[in-house]
Amino acid sequence: MLVKVFITPRKGILDPQGRAVEGSLKSLGFNGVASVRVGRYITIEIDAPSKDAATAAVGKMCDQLLANPNIEDYRFEVDGE
C-alpha cells in the first residue's frame, strides 16, 4: 500500500521558511499572497494485511518519528486495499 503523509507547522508556530517564500512571491509580483506555510510530503510503501493495519502503523510512525507533535500537525492517506 502507498501512504501519503502531509506534515505542516501548527497554527501559531513561527514558520520562517514560509515567510521567506511569501516574501519572495510578493517580490516576484504575486501580490495576492497572504500567508504561506511550508511543510513536508512523505510517501511510504507499506506491506500491511489491511488498510486499518496500515493506518495504525503509519499513525505510530508519525507520532514517534516523522512529525514533532509539539510544533507540527500531520494527516495521511492510505491508497490500496
Query: What is the C-alpha separation between 76 and 81, in angstroms, rounded?
Result: 15
Degrees (nearest 5) of the Cα angle 37, 54, 77? Answer: 35
Report residue 30 as a C-alpha cell.
Answer: 504575486
pLDDT tens figures, 54-77: 999 999 999 999 999 999 999 999
Q: What is the sign of the dihedral through the CA atoms of 44, 49, 51 and 57?
A: negative
Determine the structural domain holding residue 6 and report its residue range: 2-30+37-79
Report the CATH number at residue 62.
Answer: 3.30.1280.10
Question: Number of structural domains, the chain?
Answer: 1
pLDDT tens figures, 9-38: 999 999 999 999 999 999 999 999 999 999
Q: Which helix (DSSP H) or strand (DSSP E) does residue 44 occupy?
A: strand 40-45
Report residue 66 as a C-alpha cell.
Answer: 516523522
